[in-house]
Chain A
Amino acid sequence: MSAFRQSVEAMIPALRRYARALARDMDAADDLVQDTLVRALRSERLFLGGDLRSWLYTILTNLNKNRRRSLARRPHFMPLQDDNPDASGTEAEGRDIERALATLVEEQRAVLLLVVLEGMSYREVADIQGVPIGTVMSRLARARAHVRAVLEGERPALRRVK
């Protein structure tokens, strides 16, 4: 297996995590990852070094944007059961964060997940979204403020203040 393919393969678990949080539905998320991989493999020769990780996240982020545009007028169906039931009491918290994410606009959700979940730098996220760093920072700030408001509004009793 080529070094390129090995590097792509090594990224699959992280791409799945990002896609799951982004698309919320397991099948739709794996569809996104699958489309991303197909595109990446097809464009292997177009990839002239550089940051493979950012490149894959860029493809996935763009595919999701297109997908959402095409489904914009379609209702979203939430899965009836949690596809990842935690054993512990963090389950309710997990569902809260999931619901809060769902209320974010697309670009803000992507920024929040790329920075917080995937540990990307502001610079990398700016490149992925094709916007200035200032835009990334304002999207991040709005995303955090919004999620915080939703979490505190929904379960004030469970709000954790350490």
Chain B
Amino acid sequence: MMTEPTIPVTEDELHAYVDNELPAERRSDVERWLAAHPADAERVESWRSMTAALHARYDAVINEPVPRRLDLDRLDHRPRRWIIGAVAASIVAFAVGGAVGWVAHGAATSPALLQNLAGEALDAHRLYVVEVRHPVEVPGDEKAHLQQWLTKRCGRTVQAPELEATGLKLVGGRLLPGPTGPASFLMYESASGERFTVYATKVGIEAAQMRYTAQGNTSALSWAERGVSYVVSGGSDRTRLTQVARLVYDQSERVGG
């Protein structure tokens, strides 16, 4: 029978023992305690296998090649990012593209509603971009009819932006229910099959600055302009998304919704 340490070992000490935080002179006490208390010994053992499991799962990340977007020189040359609230939201190209007054005018907005719309749009994006046979209700080659129909149903002028300049062709569109009324939903596709969607709906917000939302492999840039909220959704490549959103923005401004 082992002799009990004079001072009983606490749970904190067991953790400190496993994490090498225990004063050296106390270690032998803990070891004797563990020999006499199998339940505690088993607990310590389970924590050790937990450590091993975590390293087994995640240590491989250390040896992965670091993606180029984390290259420090590249990060230096990136335009500054705006911090909205405490969340870093990127409005990259818009800040440098000459639209200087652009971020200033939407100071008082309803972020919750826009956040909500971005969520709706991303959900629709994810739902429909994977569709091969029925991605849209009205195909892009009936563009005039599509615009007419969406204009009537949404109660505002809907014009499908021309995104050929960035290699995107209109696949078509559909009508969606939105939290504030009907929404137009247009889908675009590149030659390589990447898809972007443009979601727009009337909101009670005159203007709101651009925000970036990312979820898994999809991301969106959303803003409001003259009472219409726009959400451009695409993959996880921010630069590409910004390029597309910029074109949509430029045209929505000209057309007026």
Contacts and interface: CB of A to CB of B under 8 A. Distances in A.
Interface of A: 1, 5, 8-9, 12-14, 16-17, 20-21, 25, 27-28, 30-31, 33-35, 37-39, 41, 62-63, 66-67, 70-71, 74, 77, 79, 84, 86, 90, 93-94, 96-98, 112-113, 115-117, 121-122, 137, 140-141, 144, 147-148, 151, 160-162
B61 A30 contact: no
A33 B75 CA distance: 11
Interface string B213-257: 011110000000000000000001000000000000000000000
B70 A37 contact: yes
Contact of B214 (A28, A86, A97): A28
A30 B87 contact: no
B70 A117 contact: no
B78 A38 contact: yes
B57 A94 contact: yes
Contact of B70 (A20, A30, A62): A30
B131 interface: no
Counting contact residues on chain B (CB < 8 A from A), the size range is: 35 or more
24 contacts: A12-B66, A12-B70, A13-B66, A16-B61, A21-B58, A27-B214, A27-B216, A30-B69, A34-B69, A63-B88, A66-B87, A67-B87, A70-B85, A74-B119, A74-B215, A93-B56, A97-B57, A113-B54, A117-B55, A137-B15, A140-B19, A144-B47, A147-B50, A148-B50
Contacts of B78: 38
A38 B88 contact: yes
A147 to B, nearest CB: 6
Nearest to A29: B61
B142 interface: no
A137 B22 CA distance: 13
Contacts of B50: 97, 116, 144, 147-148, 151
Contacts of B214: 27-28, 31
Contact of B51 (A5, A9, A116): A116
Given A16-B61, A31-B214, 16 more contacts: A12-B66, A20-B58, A27-B214, A37-B75, A38-B88, A63-B88, A70-B85, A86-B56, A90-B57, A98-B57, A113-B54, A116-B50, A117-B54, A121-B21, A141-B12, A141-B15
A147 B51 CA distance: 11
Nearest to A25: B216
Contacts of A96: 53
Residue of A1, A70, A147, A161 with most partner-chain B CB within 10 A: A70
Interface string B40-78: 001101110111011111111111101101101001101
Given A38-B78, A66-B86, A148-B46, A33 B58 contact: no
Contacts of A41: 72, 75-76
Contacts of B88: 35, 38-39, 63
Contacts of A77: 215-216
A3 to B, nearest CB: 13
B128 to A, nearest CB: 16
B81 interface: yes
A161 B42 contact: yes
Q: Which 8 A-B pairs have the closest CB atoms?
A: A94-B57, A17-B61, A77-B216, A66-B86, A97-B53, A13-B62, A35-B88, A21-B58
B62 A14 contact: yes
A30 B238 CA distance: 13
Nearest to A144: B47
Contacts of B43: 148
